[in-house]
């Protein structure tokens, strides 16, 4: 009978431990890889881009440093929320990057617009009006973009290229993920089996990532996005200087102006004393005793009852535009 060899037993024990450790290491690596794949698939399925907004192009601080300061400004860009408003235009346009359908977009815009004369009050109303006016300013700035950033330029071509690639990857290379017509939706369903609802979902998912311009080389993308933001910020600065737009910060504080409320009050003072309280109630503003009894300033151009739901049609106010509470739909966000 052979005697056990201590050296051989020690070697076998060592090999066993090594194999177990190796197997454990392989299992750990495989687990990490599996989790990584799952997370990547989840990120892809969620439609969320892998790049963060703050990592694209120069920071807002860097952009603002290059812009001329205006000593007449009362509030900072951050207090006014200008960067968020511009980012929304830069990264989430056209409308189908934020909404599935055109109807959804107009419903949202209409609800915000209609809330001004009918629902919100005080600072919230002033701020909402300010944001809608800012959308109009940014909309107007689109037509003045440099050729490489505007319609038909390489930046928009990169956007369209990504949308085409995204459609092809989903198996619909011949489907154009853009503003649709009823005839196109019917053809997509009859030829490719893509229903209208599936088209809206696919377009929305692709558009949520297209605004990050993944087909562009990083340095080119960052430079173009930086100039795009600078262009829009300059348009806002010019609007403050030349269009008489009153700055309304995000948060209320003592001394914040209320130009919309002031314009409503001035409108009510154009009516006879007996009608003023009804006017103020309709517009949800308060008149002082002095204002209630003040002489008629100017005869109103039409009867009060004809002015709802936008009582200031045709009346001037300190905001840019003639119709407080009403601003047309943004061309940039829609198409």
Mean predicted lDDT score pLDDT of the chain: 80
Domain assignment of residue 126, yes or no: yes
Pull the structure tokens for residue 224.
């173009």
Lowest mean pLDDT among 21-30, 77-86, 213-222, 284-293: 21-30
CA separation for the pair 175, 155 (Å, rounded): 21
Q: What is the pLDDT of residue 57?
A: 86
For residue 151, tell me if it sits in a domain: yes
Closest CA to 310 of 286, 287, 283, 281: 283
Domain count, the chain: 1
DSSP 254: T
Q: Is 295 left (phi over 0), alpha (psi -120 to 50) or beta?
A: beta
Residue 270 lies in a domain: no
> How confident is the model at residue 227, as a pLDDT?
96
What per-residue confidence (pLDDT) applies to 43? Answer: 38
pLDDT tens for each residue of 171-215:
999 999 999 999 999 999 999 999 999 999 999 999 999 999 999
The CA distances from residue 86 to 15, 16, 78, 82, 333, in Å, are: 64, 63, 12, 6, 12
Q: How confident is the model at residue 68 (pLDDT cuts 50, 70, 90)?
A: confident
Residue 5 domain flag: no
* Confidence (pLDDT) at 10: 52
Distance (Å, whole) CA 102 – CA 44? 25
- How far apart CA 227 and CA 147 sit, in angstroms, is 12
CA dihedral 6, 10, 16, 19 (to 10 degrees): -140
Question: Which tens digit of pLDDT belongs to each residue from 252-286?
Answer: 999 999 999 999 999 999 999 888 999 999 999 99
Q: Provide long-range contacts, Cβ within 8 A and 24+ apart, for 146-151.
A: 146/227, 146/231, 148/224, 149/224, 149/227, 149/228, 149/231
Assign 34 a pLDDT band (cuts: 50, 70, 90): very low
Q: Is residue 93 part of a domain?
A: yes
- State yes or no: pLDDT of 311 exceeds 90: no
Instruction: Report DSSP letters for 4-66, one per residue.
Output: P-HHHHHHHHHHHHHHHHHHHHHHHHHHHHHHHHHHHHHHHHHT--SS-GGGSSS-HHHHHHT
The tens digit of pLDDT for each residue in 110-150 reads 999 999 988 999 999 999 999 999 999 999 999 999 999 99
| Joined tokens for residue 194 | 């893509």
Contacts of residue 250, Cβ cutoff 8 Å, sequence gap at least 6: 79, 80, 81, 127
In a domain, 271, yes or no: no
Instruction: Name the band, by pLDDT with cuts 50, 70 and 90, for residue 316.
Output: very low
pLDDT the model gives residue 297: 79
Q: Is the pLDDT of residue 304 over 90?
A: no
4 has pLDDT over 90: no
Q: How far apart are CA 115 and CA 121, in angstroms?
A: 9
Residue range of the domain that includes 202:
53-254+324-334
Among the residue ranges 65-74, 232-241, 286-295, 323-332, the one predicted with the least confidence is 323-332
Model pLDDT for residues 168-181, shown as the tens digit of each residue: 999 999 999 999 99
- Specify if 91 maps to a domain: yes
Question: Is a pLDDT exceeding 90 seen at residue 303?
Answer: no
Q: Would you mind telling me the total number of residues written for the chain in this entry?
A: 335
225 is a domain residue:
yes
């Amino acid at each position: 009978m052979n005697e056990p060899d201590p050296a051989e037993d020690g070697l076998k024990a060592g090999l066993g431990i090594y194999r177990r450790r190796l197997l454990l290491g392989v299992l750990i690596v495989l687990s990490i890889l599996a989790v990584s794949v799952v997370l990547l698939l989840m990120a892809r399925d969620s439609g969320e881009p892998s790049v963060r907004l703050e990592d694209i192009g120069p920071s807002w601080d860097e952009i603002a440093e290059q812009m001329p300061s205006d000593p007449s400004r009362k509030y900072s860009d951050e207090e006014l929320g200008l960067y968020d408003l511009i980012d929304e235009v830069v990264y989430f346009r056209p409308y189908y990057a934020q909404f599935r359908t055109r109807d959804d977009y107009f419903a949202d815009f209409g609800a915000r617009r209609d809330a001004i004369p009918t629902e919100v009050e005080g600072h919230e109303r002033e701020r909402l009006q300010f944001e809608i006016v800012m959308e109009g300013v940014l909309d107007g700035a689109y037509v003045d973009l440099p050729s490489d950033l505007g319609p038909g330029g390489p930046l928009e071509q990169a956007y369209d290229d990504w949308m085409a690639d995204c459609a092809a990857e989903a198996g619909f290379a011949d489907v154009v993920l853009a503003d649709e017509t009823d005839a196109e939706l019917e053809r997509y369903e009859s030829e490719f089996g893509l229903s209208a609802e599936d088209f809206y979902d696919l377009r929305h998912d692709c558009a949520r990532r297209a605004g990050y311009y993944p087909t562009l080389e990083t340095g080119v993308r960052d430079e173009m996005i930086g100039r795009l933001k600078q262009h829009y910020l300059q348009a806002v600065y010019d609007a403050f200087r030349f269009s008489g737009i009153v700055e309304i910060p995000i948060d209320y504080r003592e001394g914040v102006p209320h130009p919309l409320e002031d314009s409503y009050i001035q409108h009510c003072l154009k009516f006879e004393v007996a009608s003023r309280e009804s006017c103020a109630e309709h517009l949800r503003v308060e008149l002082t005793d002095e204002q209630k009894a003040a002489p008629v300033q100017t005869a109103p151009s039409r009867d009060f009852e004809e002015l709802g739901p936008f009582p200031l049609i045709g009346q001037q106010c300190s905001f840019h535009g003639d119709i407080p509470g009403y601003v047309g739909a943004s061309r940039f966000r829609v198409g």
